[in-house]
Structure 1
Amino acid sequence: MYDVVVIGGGPSGATAAEDLARSGHKVAMLDRAGRIKPCGGAIPPRLIADFAIPEDQLVAHITMARMISPTQRSVDMAIENGFIGMVDREHFDEFLRDRAAGAGATRLTGTFVKVDRDGSNPSVVYREKASGELRSIHTRLIIGADGARSAVARAEVPGGSTIPYVIAYHEIIEAPQSGARYDPVRCDVVYDGDISPDFYGWVFPHGKQASVGMGTGLSGFDLKAATAALRKASGLADCRTIRREGAPIPLRPLDRWDNGKDTVLAGDAAGVVAPSSGEGIYYAMFGGRVAASAAAACLTTGRASDLKLARRLFMREHKTVFRVLASMQNAYYRSNDRRERFVSLCHDVDVQRLTFEAYMNKAIVRSRPMAHVRIGLKNLAHLTGMVRPDYV
């Protein structure tokens, strides 16, 4: 009998498993293994500090972001007083799983099938990877951290099958030794409807490699052709392709994360990817941490209602940021004219400073109220067409 079975061993599931194991609970972590999620790999300083990420996991240190408009105008935004770390999910996720196992979690490799409830406690049924046989493990609680379009969410949580998402696709390539349009310490974000009609494209350095990709929620859009066009525009068409990956990325947190009995969701399964930016690693790990806290509370009190703590704690910390980013995505990603205006807005010093302070610290900066007023007025001017898109 386990206290908790965590289904999914990505950043969210591995964090939940580690936290629970370190607090003395008997934990099993079930992961499919061999899957690498398409991801730009950016992690902010707060994640590095909060989750004790060692330097050897960082494949690059980013000190500049370049925003590129549909007409190929670009705005360079320097990262003051710090850097953004880059990780390769192929190795980073395994590092987190190993760390969870080192804390005492039992690693299981296989695919989740269903939850049985013949007795007083649930049993997780999974297909073991090595043998192909069905196995069953008894547990008191379940954390579903099995990604977007989560099988646990669909089976166990009301509304778990209705989460909106975009499809992300990227290609990991050999990074060029040099190039006029590629910089190993700069992330390029491309706002161009030909690359992505409703999201964006990216070129993110990973040391000796780079991630080049895009996302869209538009059915039938050719992701591979768009990525090929992005590589060509970035001078990366001739670089060797190492691997290709695609996966759904959720756009909005679910309204409910638990089933009222014995299951709570975390990470992409709960929909905690930031709108507009698509950033997910920090929010996944924070989601895993609050899911672990909710599970620990439930195990202590015996109250299933304590599982609601996971969503409550997450939203208390990040609801405002998610609302602001969702509003920005809805306002600026709908047409190339709006994207052009968004990149123009990024020229603004107030926008740059507040954007990076919010990203690095994962909170809306409230220490400069007049800067927020100025940004609000400039934002209104762009959205109403009162200024030209090339206004600075």
Structure 2
Amino acid sequence: MPARLRLLTMFTAYDVVVAGGGPAGAATALRLARAGHTVALLERSRFDRPRVGETLAPSIQPLLRDLGVWEQFVALGPLPSWGTRSIWSSTEPAAHSHLESGYDSGWHVDRRLFDRMLCDAAAAAGAAVSLGASLIGCRYDGRWQLTCSGGRRVTGRLLIDATGRSATIGRSLGARRIAFDRLVGITAQWSGVDVTAEQYLLIESVRDGWWYTAPLPGDVMVGMFMTDADICRHHNLAASGPWRTHLQATTATALRLDTALRSTTSDGARLPTAPRVYSAASHRLVRHGDTRPWLAVGDAALAVDPISGSGVPRALRTAEAAATTAARLLLHPADAAPLTSYEATRNTECTTYLSTRADYYDVALPHPTPFWTRRKLPTPA
């Protein structure tokens, strides 16, 4: 483990404490540390389990260059993503090339390594990064008095919630999470797959949701079924049998996997890993009248549907806004204007996102089932 990742044991007082080491939290910590602030970054995992969100849009390139981590990203060996193929608004596959973006390609990555890369960059910039640590208690008395797992106590002038869709910190402080859906993703992976001809994202709408499949570095193929939590429970989709049954009921997705597996094995019968269920619900975290120096960033502030393809780029952009806001609050702690402006911008982003999400689903193939009807806008009277 890099030496800097042990710094939390040496200090107890920081300008900023960031809870959550995903892309939003790590990028916020990185920017603040580079600006000369003392920063503690707490990540409850040790990046030892798979993470979802494996396909990055071409727009990620300028964002990573701006963070100064492009070379580190390339060193991860990501696979180019040349575009998207979809069965969404037509039964015939539609193709979109990333060459039209101006950045040549998007990327398929191991998100576990990607997230760890950003945390390492934050540590290299001077942030005290602690893995296997999370906040279990917080109190504000002019400074944040924080208790970490394991009993460690630290203080901070500013607290940042980067705990993802759970928004654990913000909700514990009284903020209200407005949920827009109950979307979940049920995912599994196939290893030992020849993905040389599979470097694209495939999306397919089906009766109870939609599928995506994508290649990953290391000859891996990932498949995920997006549906609502109640539908997942009703069909027991967390179990391998029902999940595979739903997969075999697809057209392009099943064909893609069958072709990819047969190119590697003699019988095409290779089994995937056991399905894992992840929350993919959209929400906005709203704070009413709370002027204490804390803010939420990334999915903790506004979580979006994966169909938008904007998760990680959005996280990195809001990290920049969060770091700017935090720096202003540290300089002028009695001025509430930076917080007010930050929240107003997130509200505007939320409104735009909901309209965009409605447009995505409005052009999808008609499926008269609960999953799809829930995503239709009400018809004006």
Q: Tell me the amino acid that sits aligned with residue 244 of structure 2.
A: A
Q: Distance in 1 between matches of 2:50 and 2:347?
A: 25
**Gap regions ≥5 residues in structure 2:** 1-12, 249-253, 262-267, 373-378
Q: Which residue of structure 1 lines up, in the alignment, with residue 8 of structure 2?
A: none
Deviates further, 106-115 or 326-335: 326-335
Q: Distance in 2 between matches of 1:100 and 1:296?
A: 16
**CA separation of 1:307/1:288 partners in 2, compared to 1, >3 Å: closer, same or farther?**
same
The aligned residue for residue 213 of structure 1 is 224
| 2:119 alignment partner AA | R
Offset of 1:99 from its aligned partner? 0.5
TM-superposed deviation, 1:157? 4.2
Distance 1:69 1:228 in 2: 21
Distance 1:258-1:101 versus aligned 2 partners, 3 A rule: farther
Match of 1:61 in 2: 80
Look up the SS of the partner of 1:96 in the other structure. Answer: helix
How many pairs are equivalent? 327
**C-alpha distance in 2 between matches for 1:324 and 1:114:** 37
Correspondent of 2:33 among 21, 24, 46: 21
How far did residue 334 of structure 1 move?
8.9
Instruction: Select 1:74's aligned residue among 90, 93, 97.
Output: 93
The Cα of 1:28 is off from its aligned counterpart by 0.1
What is residue 201 of structure 1 aligned with on the other side? 211
Change (3 A) 1:21 1:320: same
C-alpha distance in 1 between matches for 2:114 and 2:269: 27
Kindly indicate whether the alpha-carbon contact (under 8 Å) linking 2:80 and 2:105 is maintained by their aligned counterparts in 1: yes
Contact 1:149-1:161 at 8 Å conserved across structures? no
Alignment root-mean-square deviation, CA: 3.2
Would you say 1:295 and 2:304 are equivalent positions? no
**1:93 partner amino acid:** D
Question: Is the aligned partner of 1:115 residue 2:138?
Answer: yes
Structure 2 distance, partners of 1:167, 1:210, is: 19
Amino acid corresponding to residue 106 of structure 2 in structure 1: I
Counterpart CA distance in 1 for 2:322 and 2:117 is: 20
Does 1:269 find its partner at 2:300? yes
User: SS at 2:327's partner residue?
Assistant: helix
Is 1:306 the equivalent of 2:319? no
Letter in 2 for 1:85: W
On the 8 A contact 2:180/2:281 being kept in 1, the answer is yes
Q: CA deviation at 1:256?
A: 4.1
SS at match of 1:39: coil
Q: Which residue of 2 aligns with 1:95?
A: 117
Match of 2:165, as an amino acid? A
Preserved CA contact (<8 Å) 2:165 2:281: yes
- 1:284 matches 2:307: no
Q: Tell me the residue number matched to 1:322.
A: 353
Following superposition, the deviation at residue 212 of structure 1 comes to: 0.7
Give 1:171's aligned residue: 188
Equivalent position SS for 2:163: coil
Post-superposition shift, 1:59?
A: 2.1
Deviation at 1:10, TM superposition (A): 0.5
Sequence identity percentage: 21
Equivalence for 2:237: 223
The answer for the alignment partner of 1:371 in structure 2 is none
SS at match of 2:154: strand
Question: 3-state SS of the aligned residue for 1:115?
Answer: strand
Deviations 1:284-338 (A, max 9, x none): 222222111111110011124422333344566x557514422224535694269
1:267 and 1:288 in contact (8 A); partners too:
yes
Other-structure match for 1:106:
128
Structure 1 residues 292 and 176, CA gap change in structure 2 (3 angstroms): same
Describe the superposition over 1:229-280 as per-residue Cα deviations: whole angstroms up to 9, x where unpaired.
4654232573453575432123133344994212100111112325743641
Letter in 1 for 2:225: M
Given that residues 290 and 314 in structure 1 are in contact (C-alpha distance below 8 angstroms), is that contact kept between their aligned partners in structure 2? no
| Cα deviation, residue 2, structure 1 | 0.6
> What SS is found at the alignment partner of 1:184?
coil
**Are the structure 2 counterparts of residues 174 and 240 from structure 1 closer, same or farther at C-alpha, using a change threshold of 3 Å?**
farther
Deviation at 1:3, TM superposition (A): 0.5
SS across alignment from 1:45 = coil
Mapping for residues 116-135 of structure 1, pairs under 5 Å:
116-117=139-140, 119-127=141-149, 133-135=150-152
Query: What TM-score does the superposition give when structure 2 sets the normalisation length?
Result: 0.75
Q: Give the TM-score normalised by the residue count of structure 1.
A: 0.73
Counterpart-to-counterpart distance in 1, 2:94 and 2:75: 31
Distance between the aligned counterparts of 1:68 and 1:21, measured in 2? 44
Cα distance in 1 between the residues matched to 2:82 and 2:351: 26
Secondary structure of residue in 2 paired with 1:134: coil
Distance 2:46 2:189 in 1: 16
Query: How many Å apart are 1:51 and its aligned residue?
Result: 2.1
Which residue matches 1:51? 64
- State whether residues 37 and 246 of structure 1, in contact with CA within 8 Å, keep that contact through their aligned partners in structure 2: no
Q: Does structure 1 residue 42 correspond to structure 2 residue 55?
A: yes
Instruction: List runs of 5+ in structure 1 lacking aligned partners.
Output: 128-132, 342-382, 384-392
- 1:30 and 1:111 in contact (8 A); partners too: yes
Alignment partner for residue 176 of structure 2, among 143, 156, 159?
Answer: 159
Verify the 8 A CA contact 1:16 1:291 in the aligned structure 2: yes
Cα separation, partners in 2 of 1:247 and 1:39, compared to 1, 3 Å: same
Q: Which residue of 2 aligns with 1:366?
A: none
How much does 1:79 deviate? Answer: 2.9
What whole-Å deviation, never above 9, does each CA across 1:159-182 have from its counterpart, x for those lacking one?
13756442222112215227xxx9
One-letter amino acid matched to 1:291: A
